[in-house]
Structure 1
Amino acid sequence: MKFVVLAALVAVAACAKLPGGQEEFVEHHQEIFPQRPQFAIIRDDRLAPEGAFYNTDVETENGIIFSENGHEGSLGQSNAEGSVSYTSPEGDLIEVTYVADELGFRAVGAHIPTPPPLPAHVYELLRIAEEQRAAGITFE
C-alpha cells in the first residue's frame, strides 16, 4: 500500500514539473497510448480485507466478470481462488478459474494449452523407479 501511495505522489510530482503542466503530460501520453474504450462497472461487491480474508466480485458492461476470495493458508499467508470470464475479440467465451496457495498458482481454462501426454515407456520407467526406491535401491 505504501508503494502505491509513493507511486501516486511521484506521478503527481512528475506532472507538476513538466512545462505546460498536467495537460501537456496527458496530451503527450495520449499520443503514445491511444485512448482505449472504457466500460462502466455494473457490479462491484467487495468485502475489505480482514486479515487474510477478503472477497471481490466485479462485472463490467462489456461482460467481463471477475471474482476472487481470499482466505488464510496453512502457513498464515493469504491464499486466493477465483475466476475471470470475458468474450474474446473472436467472440469466444474465455473462462479461467485459478487457485494461489502453498502449492503455487494454478489456472484452469479450456483455452490454456496443455502438454501432450507422456509416452507409455515413461510411465513404465517411473513404475520401475518406484519399485527400486521401495526395495531400498539408490543411485549416486
Structure 2
Amino acid sequence: MKLVIIAVLAAAAVAAPQYSYSAPSEESSEEVEVQYSYSAPLEDSSEEVIEIIPIVRDDRVHEDDGAYTLDVETGNGIVLSQSGSPNGPDDSVVKSGHYSYTAPDGTFVEVKFVADENGFQPQSDLLPVAPAFPHPIPDFVLEQIAFAEAEDAARARAELEAQDSEEEPAAPSTSYGSPQ
C-alpha cells in the first residue's frame, strides 16, 4: 500500500507544471525575441484567430540592494515602465512608473502611479474624480441635519430642566450593604 502511495505522489510531482524564469546573462549580447499570442473568436465564425504580438523591448535591471527598473514595450503599443526599491517601512518595495495602451474603442490610456505604504495611487485624466467641494448638498440631507440639531437642542433643554428640578443630592452612604 505504501508503495502505491509513493508511486502516485511521484507521478503527480512529475506531471506538475514546471515554472521558471532565467534572465539573460549580462555578458550575452544575443537578442531574444519574445512573443505572446492572443486569440479571439471571429465575429461571424466559431474559429479563433491567433495574433502574435511581439515584445519590442524588455529591459530589466535588478540591483543587489533590491532596487530594479523595468521597461517593456509590445508591438501593439502597450508600454510599461516602472522602478522600485526596498525603501518602504520594514524594507517593503516602493515603486513608481507609468503604463499606456490603446483601449478597444480607440482611446489612448496613460496611467502614472506610485505604490507605497499608502497603497496603489494611480493618476490619469481618464479616472473618475470626486466633485469639487463645496458642492451642492441635497435638500433631504439639509433637512436631516436640521432635524438632528433640533433633537440635540430638545435633549439638552430636558437635561437642564431635570437638573433644575432635582433637590440637593443626598450625602453618600457611609455604610455598605449587600447589593440590591
Q: TM-score range by the shorter chain?
A: 0.5 to 0.7
Unaligned runs of 5+ in 2: 1-11, 18-39, 42-47, 138-180
The residue type paired with residue 78 of structure 1 is: V
- Structure number with larger C-alpha Rg: 2
Per-residue CA distance 1:59-90 (angstroms, 9 max, x = gap) = 00111000110112242211110110011112
Higher helix share: 1
Task: Give the TM-score taking structure 1 as reference length.
Answer: 0.58
Q: How many percent identity over aligned positions?
A: 36
Distance 1:114 1:121, change over 3 A: closer
Corresponding position of 2:15: 13
5+ residue gaps in structure 1?
Answer: 1-9, 16-29, 123-140
Structural RMSD (CA):
3.1
TM-score (norm 2): 0.46
C-alpha distance after superposition, 1:37-72 (max 9, x if no partner): 331001111012534301100000111000110112
How many residue pairs get aligned? The number is: 97
- In the alignment, is residue 91 of structure 1 matched against residue 93 of structure 2? no
- Residues 86-122 of structure 1, C-alpha deviation per residue, up to 9 Å, x if partnerless? 1111212100010001222100011111111232699
Match of 1:59, SS state, is strand
Large movers: runs of 4+ above 2 Å: 12-15, 34-38, 48-52, 118-122
| Structure with higher RCO (Cα < 8 A, 6+ apart) | 1
Is 1:114 the counterpart of 2:129? The answer is: yes
SS in 2 for 1:37: strand
Match of 2:52 in 1: 38
Structure 1 counterpart of 2:67: 53
